[in-house]
Amino acid sequence: MGKYSAIVLLAAIAASTGAAHAQTANVARGKYLASFAGCNDCHTPGNFMGKRDVSRTLGGSDVAFVIQGLGAFAGPNLTPDKETGLGNWSVDQIVTALKTGKRPDGRELAPIMPWRDFANLTDSDVRSIALYLKNLPAISNKVPGPFGPNDKVNMFTMRLTPPPQ
């Protein structure tokens, strides 16, 4: 190997290591932001019962919010499982959902999802959250719902009701 080939090889290794470090740093920042934003509250099983199942972090809630007139919504599986989670979503699609409230299929996220607040995050921070979600262990957990206002709900619920008039 010539002198210049060795230099090119070392530069490529350094660039690759730098990119891997940046990716790791972005995933770590995404984990911090997701934790701080309370994503586990609505998307991790057991959380609302006081027994968060850390082995299924962000694998989907076992409790739905009932919103009068709209139906019931459970926090879906945010892990990269292709059948029951975000495995078929790209990082850009996750970023779009967090910033605009629109899923890749065009549906709007449930009204309880605070995407309007997430829209105020920097693009870099939202991308870090998306990278964190894509790097979670995939968990197979099909969360029931969403349920329409007249549907029978087959899971625990929390009700959001307006005060009496």
Domain-wise residue ranges, the chain: 3-160
Query: What does the pLDDT look like over 86-120, one tens digit per residue?
Result: 999 999 999 999 999 999 999 999 988 999 999 99
Which is nearest to 132 in space by CA: 58, 43, 76? 58
Distance of CA 95 to the CA centre of its chain: 10
Q: Is the pTM of this model over 0.75?
A: yes
Contact 50, 40 (CB under 8 A): no
Handedness of CA 39, 43, 49, 51 (dihedral sign): negative
Mean pLDDT lowest among 1-10, 56-65, 81-90, 117-126: 1-10
Is residue 15 pLDDT above 80, yes or no? no
How many Å apart are CA 74 and CA 34, to the nearest integer? 18
Q: pLDDT at position 22, please? A: 55
Q: pLDDT at position 19, please? A: 46
Query: What does the pLDDT look like over 111-155, one tens digit per residue?
Result: 889 999 999 999 999 999 999 999 999 999 999 999 999 999 999
What is the C-alpha radius of gyration for the chain, rounded to an integer number of angstroms?
A: 20
Tell which wins on pLDDT, 105 or 162.
Answer: 105
